[in-house]
Structure 1
Amino acid sequence: MTTLDPKTQAQTGSTGANIVGSGVGDGPGPDVMAAATLDDTKVISPDGAHVGKISDIMLDVRSGRIAYAVLAEGGFLGMGSQLHAIPWSALTLDTDEKCFFVDITAEQIRNEPGFDKDHWPSMADAQWGTTVHQYYNRDPYWSATRDVSRSDVTDI
C-alpha cells in the first residue's frame, strides 16, 4: 500500500481532491474524468483500513464544483450501507493504487452520523455542509470557491 507524504495531502483551503501516483492512462484522467469512473472506488483511511467505496459524486450545480463524494460503508450488496458525505477536498486519488485516501481514521468515519439511502440530508443547507466540512477539518468548498474566484479575477 502506498503511504502518502504529508506534503501531498490536501490542504485545508483546497477546493479539489489531490492526485498522487504516476498514472496517466489512455484517454481522460486523472485530472479530468467522468464521475462514473470513480464509482465503486475504494477509500482507505490513514490507518490502512478499507472504509468503504464511493457510491456517488455530488455536484454543486450552480458553482460547477464537486461538493462531496458519498462513501458507502458497511452493508452487504448495497443493503444496509451507512452513507457518509466526504468533502471532495478531504480526498486524495492515488492513481497507482487506484483508490482514494481520506485523512481521518476508520473509527472517525464510523462515528460520523452519516445517513441511509432513503434519508439523505439537504446537502445545499450551509449549516449542514459547514458541520461536515468541520468534521473533516476542511474549509467549506463554497468559501474556497469564492476565494479562488477573487484571486483569479485579480490575476487577469
Structure 2
Amino acid sequence: MSLDDRLVKSGDLIGVAVTDPKGHKLGVIREVFVDRDAGIGRYVAVEPAGLFTGGKYHPLPWRILTFDDKAEAYATDLSKDRFKDSPAYDRDQLAKTSYGWAEQVERYFEG
C-alpha cells in the first residue's frame, strides 16, 4: 500500500462509523483534532449511536483506532461499556483548551 492510498481528507472522516471488536457501531466521527505542531491526528470526537446521546461526544485517541477496509469504518478494541464510560463532553467543552479534556482522556485510556 502506497502513502497515497493511506491519505484521507479530513472532510471524509466526518460521519465514518467507529465499531467495537464485534463490529457493532459505537458511534460516528464528528470532529478530528490535529496536533498543529506535529501535524498528526490525535483525537476523534465520536457521537454515540442511538437516539438519546445527550449532546455529548467521546474523544478517542487516534492510536486506538484501526481502519477496517471491508467495513469502511474505524475499529477499536473498546467494548460498548468501556466506550460508554469514557470521558464525554459537549461542543463548548471540546472547544476550550482550558477545560483540559485531552489530559482527562489520556488518563482514562492509559489504564
Name the CA shift for 1:113/1:131 in 2 (closer, same or farther; >3 Å).
closer
Structure 1: gaps (5+ residues) = 1-21, 139-156
Structure number with higher strand proportion: 2
Name the CA shift for 1:81/1:75 in 2 (closer, same or farther; >3 Å).
farther
Aligned length: 109
TM-score relative to the length of structure 1: 0.59
Partner of 1:147: none
Structure 2: gaps (5+ residues) = none
Runs of 4+ more than 4 Å apart: none
Paired amino acid for 2:65: L
Asked if structure 1 preserves the Cα contact closer than 8 Å seen for 2:18 and 2:27, the reply is: yes
Structure index of larger Rg: 1
Partner of 2:18: 43
Hey, what's the Cα distance between the residues in 2 that align with 1:39 and 1:132?
Answer: 20
Paired amino acid for 1:39: I
- Percent identity, aligned pairs only, is 22
Name the CA shift for 1:108/1:71 in 2 (closer, same or farther; >3 Å).
same
Secondary structure of the equivalent of 1:40? Answer: coil
Structure number with higher helix proportion: 2
What is the deviation of 1:75?
A: 6.0
TM-score relative to the length of structure 2: 0.79
- Indicate the larger mover: 65-74 or 83-92: 65-74
Coordinate RMSD, CA, aligned: 2.8
